[in-house]
Amino acid sequence: MELTKEQQTKFEKLGVGSFCELALLIPHSYEDYRLHKKLTPHSNQLIDATVESVIRAPNTIQITFYAHNFGHAITGVLFRPKPYMTHQFVVGSRDYYFGMIECKAGYCSMSMPKKITQAGAITPKYKLALRSDAMARFVSKNLTHERLVAEGLNAKVAHDILRLHFPSSESLDSKELSQSALYALKYTELFLYMKQLSSKRRYFEPIKSIKATYSKWVKTLPFKLTNEQLQAIEDVKSDFAKEVAAKRMVVGDVGSGKTMVILAAAFMMGKNRAVLMAPTTLLANQLFEEAGKFLPSLKSVLVTNKSKKEDLSAYDFIIGTHALLYRELPSAALVMVDEQHRFGTLQRNMLEKLVTSGEKKPHYFQFSATPIPRTQAMIETAHIDVSLITSTPFVKDITSKVIHKSDFGNLLAHIKGELFKNNQVLLVYPLVEQSEAIAYQSIEEARGYWEKNFDDVYVTHGKDKDKERVLLDFRENGKILVATTVVEVGISLPRLSTVVIVGAERLGLSTLHQLRGRVSRTGLKGYCYLYSNQENSKRLDEFVNTTSGFDIANLDLKFRKSGDLLKGVNQSGTQFKWVDLAEDAEIVKSVKDAIL
């Protein structure tokens, strides 16, 4: 798109880079500069008038007009007039004047009349870096249907968004945007956003392109994979066959079985080598154990800070923590990152670079247990492929309930009953140490009570250097674990039946869902208690009645606007001015179909 010097200057001043972006800068109001024969009280109107008299007072100027279009006199009043205003009203001159018309007892006045040079049109008013009249002229001269369509915008959408800049009389009749105008704004905003995302997508030749199969491996498993697990594995298989290095995000709910997708990918890559990075030693260890169990044909190795340095080129499947970033890694055809949101972008890129061979890139898969709204997943596909695993291998039976101080006796009875069954209980506190700002006990304040009244109580938190050892010890020997949200992602606790989250209203719904997902991992009857000082919370009530992580993600959107997908900032603010990801899935789908 070649811009003239004037267009370039104006675009820079307005902070836009295309005509579609310019189209989104819609007027905040309109002024009707058409002449009407009938006077309408309580509205701004234009008069074709001759000034008959001007009377000055200390704080006002009173002007008598003869309004030719109405056929009678009308009084104009300027309050606290600026010097330049007085020159607009010369006795005997005939001009156009615009202002608010008011009528009382047959007497009509126009407050703050201003002289208008051009009459006959509805004029849009803008509140932007450019002066309103300059913006209107620039839009009138440059914003055309042809230019919007040339940039790829749908023709009907282009027509509807242009009507906001070049309005008809209906635009003035309603204070609300029409449905077609709102759709056009949402569509255009998503179109620009997804177009920008897709431009960020880079294509590279893969280190290895293979036609793999996994059906024999699936038959060796002691359990049946879900249809969605198999679909995700099928996605991976088709990625491997392409002449382009894959970039895919596999998003699955807590306990949905993403691990089997990871193992299937490593199995299909076989001797071409796969590298997997996990956020904690515990998770890396767990994945290494699973690989030993289900991938006997591959030679696997675990790399942590405590591992001895050795030549890793002898291994087919290298599993490790961020310690991998400080090792000499052999070239690998596949890189996977588990719980990808726990690593920074730089760390993820570093791992990819470490195993890259020349200009060729490894296939790259990210795995996340934080479900994202389906609408967001559709948007993400503009720059990365997405597989969603929304179901779990078995139905979790978890009872969720909001509780208050008055329920503490019943809670204690429940905890004792679960411990009697040899089950474990997790108590999540909002803080490690006391704070005046938060009206809940901290771990340090609460631990004394639990340690005094119960046996085998373990305590850990994010700052605890021994947290991984504590969690392992608790898994084997503990009854009650007192912790912060450090347990949100981590070790599998098969005997954990109950989680109590203190100050639940302070946490995001996705975090609550992750914590709830720690219980009932093996089909055990589970309980999740949300302890709150708030008498009523619609948010928590809705959470209690929702079990799917993907539905929780949509709820989170409803209560808290989505963050900025593109820049990775503004996580709880609003990236979109018009689009509502919780409501606009159909528009996202239309834009996706148009772009991809």
| Residue range(s) of every CATH 3.40.50.300 domain in the chain | 215-389, 398-546
Q: Which CATH architecture has domain 34-116?
A: Beta Barrel (2.40)
Predicted confidence at residue 358, as pLDDT, reads 77
Which class is 398-546 in CATH? Answer: alpha beta
* C-alpha dihedral, 505 to 374 to 368 to 332, nearest 10°: -160
Predicted confidence at residue 509, as pLDDT, reads 86
Predicted confidence at residue 174, as pLDDT, reads 60
Averaged pLDDT, 403-422 = 94
Residues 17-69 have pLDDT tens digits of 999 999 999 998 888 888 888 888 888 899 999 999 999 888 899 999 999 99
Predicted confidence at residue 494, as pLDDT, reads 85
- How much is the mean pLDDT over the chain? 86
For 215-389, the fitting CATH number among 3.40.50.300, 3.30.390.30, 3.30.9.100, 3.90.1150.10 is: 3.40.50.300
What is the rounded distance in angstroms from the CA atom of residue 587 to the CA atom of residue 186?
Answer: 8
Task: State yes or no: pLDDT of 569 exceeds 70.
Answer: no
Model confidence band, residue 465 (pLDDT cutoffs 50, 70, 90): confident
% of the chain at pLDDT higher than 90: 45
| Residue range(s) of every CATH 2.40.50.140 domain in the chain | 34-116
Predicted confidence at residue 139, as pLDDT, reads 92
Averaged pLDDT, 357-367 = 88
Averaged pLDDT, 251-272 = 90
What is the rounded distance in angstroms from the CA atom of residue 538 to the CA atom of residue 100?
Answer: 45
From the CB of residue 546, how many other CB atoms can be counted at a distance below 10 Å? 16
HSE, side-chain direction, 13 A CA sphere, residue 447: 17
Predicted confidence at residue 437, as pLDDT, reads 64
Amino acid identity, position 72: H
Q: Considering only residues 382 and 473, tell me which one the structure prediction assigns the higher pLDDT.
A: 473
Task: State yes or no: pLDDT of 432 exceeds 80.
Answer: no
- In 433-579, beta strands by DSSP E: 457-459, 480-483, 496-502, 526-531
Provide CB contacts within 8 A for 432, sequence distance 6+: 442, 443, 444, 461, 462, 463, 484
What is the value of pTM for the model shown? 0.70
- Burial (Cβ within 10 Å: 0-12, 13-18, ≥19) of residue 73: middle
What is the rounded distance in angstroms from the CA atom of residue 393 to the CA atom of residue 225?
Answer: 7
Predicted confidence at residue 156, as pLDDT, reads 94
> Which residue from 153, 588, 553 is spatially nearest to 381, judged by alpha carbons?
588
Predicted confidence at residue 373, as pLDDT, reads 74
Amino acid identity, position 41: P
Q: Considering only residues 128 and 553, tell me which one the structure prediction assigns the higher pLDDT.
A: 128
- Burial (Cβ within 10 Å: 0-12, 13-18, ≥19) of residue 88: middle
> Which residue from 542, 427, 433, 541 is spatially nearest to 485, judged by alpha carbons?
427
What is the rounded distance in angstroms from the CA atom of residue 432 to the CA atom of residue 502?
Answer: 12
Predicted confidence at residue 168, as pLDDT, reads 75
